[in-house]
Structure 1
Amino acid sequence: MRIPKIFSWLKRLIWLAVIGCALLVGYVWLKPGREDLPWTPLSLTDPIGMATRGKIVDLTGQRNQCLALLESSGLEFSSRDPFGADQCRVEDAVRADAGQMLLPLAPASVAPSCPMAIGLLLWQAQVVQPRAQAILGSKVVKIETFGSYSCRRMYGRGEGPWSEHATADALDVSAFVLADGRRISVLKDWNGDADRAGFLRAVRDGACALFSTTLSPDYNAAHADHLHLDLADRGTMGWRACR
């Protein structure tokens, strides 16, 4: 009776060894960094990783923590007093000071939530500027927008879910102005010149790793003239909308 038991235990040990080797190979192959591990703090100097988006979303409601992280970026900004009510209450809106190249949003009055500003900083530094230099040969000096805050439901309907714009956790980007004077417009260039269209698609694709929702002209006619970016909270491992 002992021999079958010994064989049974040997089989279990072999399977455990195989699983252990597979996990080790997977770990070495993936080589997860801080940016890929959900339990490590968000750092603005880390590359964009698998857990970056979730860490940005988790800053929602963590006003002091978010503002401290924003201050560490070197961005000069003003923190707005809380405003709005009920579903349109905003506690953590911030506005970059005029002339800030770390976050060159236009108009200067646009004030996204602090977590949204964190996402935009990473997008601008690790996606927008590198793609602009590589594809268009010039850096971006202004990101034109249709604004961040708007107390309304999705698509302006009278009922249904509230838009992320209602809490300034969204931004609609309409164009990019380059240092050489060129203006890359979502409306005019999405299906235009190859380099301009390629740049717009590249920054859209890069945004998908940072924001819960990234919508472009490829989604529907309502987004023909802008890229919609938002931080909808769909849980730590929640799905993302990227179109």
Structure 2
Amino acid sequence: MQTDQPQPQRRSRIARVILGRLALSILLGLGIVGGLIWGEVIAIPNRLNPFTPLRIADDVSWLTRLKLSRLERDGAQCRAVLREASVSHRSVPDRAMEQGCGLSDAVEVSRSSVGLNQEFTATCPLAVAWALFEAHTLRPAARQHFGQNVARVTHFGTYACRNVNHRAGGRRSEHATANAIDIAGFVLADGQQITVKADWAGSNAHRVAFLRALRGGACNFFDVVLSPDYNEAHHDHFHFDMGSYRACR
């Protein structure tokens, strides 16, 4: 079963671009001023340099989302980043948009740094965001709260030609272009099963803390992150997408 957000607040792409360019201008200006004062150009580490491509291994910062947003407009760069990630994937032929549903620059992911209950089709930016989430949130949280790794992720799927919340009318869901994924639970290395449905408001403090750490960390990479705190439709899964809205609930 796949459900997603009714009406999160729409973010302004224009404002995001303006802020990004302003930040880049400030950093460039600081480099120039430093060069004039000290007689040499200040070297900026790749992970702190807004001009360098995104790397999965880079520390998470405010630049992460800026670099992720570039991949939505640069398919070649997105594929290059994905090739460096621990994601087994193959290209999926584009599917012409018909009535708001279709595929563009998508991949089929068969395995990532953890196992999956089934393959999924995703836009390249969604697949990259998932790789970042695994590396910087999922695996560290599992080690922190349980002292072990995640062996498998259980998901409800990605692509589905439908409207938001399966309504007869309204806008198309991000699932209609494979730009969203619904996560139901996790299996740890020792066989423990943790599910959003049973453990989000459960009695096991470690499981509750783990799931909340995942929800919070996911917001560093996905545009929309919805949990059971959002509404009843999400009582049994997390919804992650790379759409044109911004929400973390």
TM over 0.5: yes
Are the counterparts in 2 of residues 57 and 232 from structure 1 also a CA contact under 8 Å? no
Report how far residue 84 of structure 1 moved. Answer: 5.0
Match of 1:82 among 89, 94, 98: 94
Report 1:1-243 matches (<5 A).
34-35=46-47, 38-86=50-98, 87-97=100-110, 100-108=111-119, 110-192=120-202, 193-234=204-245, 240-243=246-249
**Helix, strand or coil at the partner of 2:142:** helix
Distance between the aligned counterparts of 1:190 and 1:34, measured in 2? 37
Shift of 1:113: 1.3
Deviations 1:63-102 (A, max 9, x none): 32211211122533211111252321212222233xx451
- More strand by percentage: 2
* Partner SS, residue 184 of structure 1: strand
Runs of 4+ in 1 over 3 A off after TM superposition: 32-40
Inter-CA distance 74–172: structure 2 relative to 1 (3 Å threshold): closer
How far has the Cα of 1:38 moved from its partner? 4.6
Gap runs ≥5 in structure 1: 1-19, 25-31, 235-239
Per-residue deviation, residues 16-68 of structure 1 (Å, max 9, x unmatched)? xxxx9xxx9xxxxxxx9655665432111211111212322332253322112
Structure with the larger RCO, 1 or 2 (CA within 8 Å, 6+ apart): 2
* Contact 1:57/1:233, CA 8 A, preserved across alignment: no
**Residues 57 and 231, structure 1, Cα contact 8 Å, conserved in 2:** no
Q: Distance in 2 between matches of 1:225 and 1:149?
A: 18
Gaps of 5+ in 2: 1-29, 35-43
Using the size of structure 2 for normalisation, the TM-score is 0.76
Q: CA deviation at 1:159?
A: 2.3
- CA deviation after TM superposition for structure 1 residue 223, in Å: 0.3
Take 2:64 and 2:86, find their aligned partners in 1: how far apart are those partners? 20
Deviation at 1:135, TM superposition (A): 0.4
Cα distance in structure 1, aligned partners of 2:95 and 2:188: 34
Q: Distance in 1 between matches of 2:229 and 2:48?
A: 29
**Between Structure 1 and Structure 2, whose CA radius of gyration is higher?**
1
User: How many pairs are equivalent?
Assistant: 206
